[in-house]
Structure 1
């Protein structure tokens, strides 16, 4: 689930629960509610006896309630697992050739890629992140170019140099990359 959508749904749910809880608390403390509100005063009940027992004898009522609650629990569990799932690999296994192997921290590889990319000529700033699984990582790079830089040269240096070094150092068969190039904003020069 995308982070923006997740934050929006969480904020909407929190706001709805806050408004409903605050309204029920206000009515319970004696604040006079509007005429359209569900409760008329602090001694009013949420559901009357007739409303609570209306569907009790219907054969479809309890299976429908249980199915709706089960669906709600499954959606909440899906949301929780989507929120807790790691988007970046924490470690990448490296074959050292002696059978024992080693683990390369994902953040160490990210910082090495970022430093090497930022040191290239024509690059003003770089941000490199890993994505994918730990056995098949992918690189997502955002490179900000200086105004005089040639994008094809920077991209060629990144793929042939930086990306190749990282792939060979980690012992990976492939290291796919998604690169976004942007330029640094600069003020126009005045001619007098």
Structure 2
């Protein structure tokens, strides 16, 4: 869907730039001086009083739909960055998140953790990002987190159905230097 939207947007921008350049005379003076509507189209629009109001209504509807879509995208983007919660709930989430971080960092195999509460008031989401040691077992870490710190976070927030997404990133192992070759005497 995003590729189609991007392609459509680029085509519309290219058409707009082409029309602007044509109007400024970049493609020759004949095109810039030619009227937008042919004489037949101008006569048709002049004979029918409904033509321009309908054309304007269609243009306004398309513009309104575009603005509404843009607003929806901005809202979705902000909800992934910060949860839409009231101030007391936000403070409670910060305290419970601190506890979750402290507990998560003590799980064997976890090097670092980050926690972020996102989503709307009706559909909150907890994102937990874990940096694991190279030899850690993510399945065991997931089980330890789900049964311990995440459950306590849900209880503290009074959100039993809180959707939790746990993302794992493996730490790069420290390369060991090659062993020296034995000297031949």
TM over 0.5: yes
- Corresponding position of 1:186: 173
- Corresponding position of 2:108: 121
Q: Is the 8 A contact 2:96 2:157 kept in 1?
A: no
- Corresponding position of 2:89: 103
How far the C-alpha of 1:23 sits from its partner, in A, is 2.6
SS in structure 2 at match of 1:167: helix
Structure 1 residues 126, 21: CA separation in 2 closer, same or farther (over 3 Å shift)? farther
Q: Determine which of 57, 77, 83 is the counterpart of 1:89.
A: 83
Comparing 52-61 with 83-92, greater Cα deviation is found at: 52-61
- Rounded Cα–Cα distance in structure 2 between residues aligned with 1:148 and 1:20: 57
- Rounded Cα–Cα distance in structure 2 between residues aligned with 1:142 and 1:65: 51
- Corresponding position of 2:21: 23
- Corresponding position of 1:47: 36
| Runs of at least 5 residues in structure 2 that lack an aligned partner in the other structure | 180-185
- Corresponding position of 1:97: none
Structure 1 residues 73, 137: CA separation in 2 closer, same or farther (over 3 Å shift)? same
- Corresponding position of 1:79: 69
Name which one, 1 or 2, has greater alpha-carbon Rg: 2
- Corresponding position of 1:34: 27
How far the C-alpha of 1:89 sits from its partner, in A, is 1.9
Structure 1 residues 9, 120: CA separation in 2 closer, same or farther (over 3 Å shift)? farther
Structure 1 residues 140, 61: CA separation in 2 closer, same or farther (over 3 Å shift)? same
How far the C-alpha of 1:74 sits from its partner, in A, is 2.9
- Rounded Cα–Cα distance in structure 1 between residues aligned with 2:8 and 2:92: 29
Normalised by the size of structure 2, how large is the TM-score? 0.65
Q: Is the 8 A contact 1:90 1:107 kept in 2?
A: no
- Corresponding position of 2:58: 68
Higher helix share: 2
| Runs of at least 5 residues in structure 1 that lack an aligned partner in the other structure | 28-32, 94-101
Alignment deviations for residues 71-97 of structure 1 (CA, whole Å, 9 cap, x no partner)? 31232232232134241423268xxxx
TM-align CA RMSD: 4.1
How far the C-alpha of 1:178 sits from its partner, in A, is 1.8
Q: Is the 8 A contact 1:140 1:179 kept in 2?
A: yes
How far the C-alpha of 1:177 sits from its partner, in A, is 0.9
